[in-house]
Structure 1
Amino acid sequence: MPGGQSMITVVLMYVAIFAIFYFLFIRPQKKKDKALKEMRANISVGDKVSTIGGIVANVAKVEEDVIILELGPNRTKVPFEKWAIGTVQSKKQEVE
């Protein structure tokens, strides 16, 4: 049974490597994705947002998958997909 002992060792090594990758890479990424999805779902009118392209604007209207943003001094309204929102600074945070 010397071959059986080495087979168990190899299987345990693969399990250990998978566990390390799971806890170092997969699990933190899933947590980050969940927090980002929740943040985008809680966007409301009047929030100040920053897109992933670096545009900072105020939210004028929120639809299911699209957000209308007001840009610049002329308050130009431009539609953006929700996935394009990088960060949200809500009205409550601006007051504080």
Structure 2
Amino acid sequence: MFVTPAYAQAAGGAGPSLLAQLPFFVAIFAIFYFLLIRPQQKKLKEHNAMVEALRRGDQVVTQGGLVGKVTKVREDGEVEIEIAPGVNVRVIKHTIQTVRSRTEPAK
């Protein structure tokens, strides 16, 4: 029947306002941007540059684990790779994971 003073005091406050929480959300977004978003965009740009620089004779590794030599670079986004003598496969350019060794440009 009687309300104790502790219960009466706990019911009063509604919590911090939105303006007080705004710096916290800005800080969280900044952390996500610098630790997740920005490095991923940088890695994507580097991969796109590597894919565009592919040329005949480069030793490459695909995302599926195939290792071979580029025999033909096509304009439709595909590359022919020789994985064994006389065995050529066509792969999508963007599935090239790394370039192991580059050929010297023709002079």
* 1:12 is the counterpart of 2:23: yes
Scaled by the length of structure 2, what TM-score is found? 0.76
The equivalent of 1:44 in structure 2 is 55
Q: Which has the higher helix share?
A: 1
Partner of 1:67: 79
Question: Where does residue 33 of structure 2 map in the other structure?
Answer: 22
Give identity over the alignment, percent: 41
The structural deviation recorded for 1:9 is 2.0
Q: Structure 1 residue 75: deviation in Å?
A: 2.5
Q: Per-residue CA shift, 1:32-87, capped at 9, x if unaligned?
A: 01000110010000000000111110000001200001111x33111100111000
Q: Which runs of 5+ in 2 are unaligned?
A: 1-13
Q: What amino acid sits opposite 2:45 in the alignment?
A: K
Which runs of 5 or more structure 1 residues have no equivalent in the other structure? none
Moved over 3 A (4+): none
Task: Note the aligned Cα RMSD (angstroms).
Answer: 1.5
Give secondary structure in 2 for the equivalent of 1:54: coil
Query: Bigger radius of gyration, 1 or 2?
Result: 2
Q: Secondary structure at the match of 2:32?
A: helix
What is the number of residues matched between the two proteins? 88
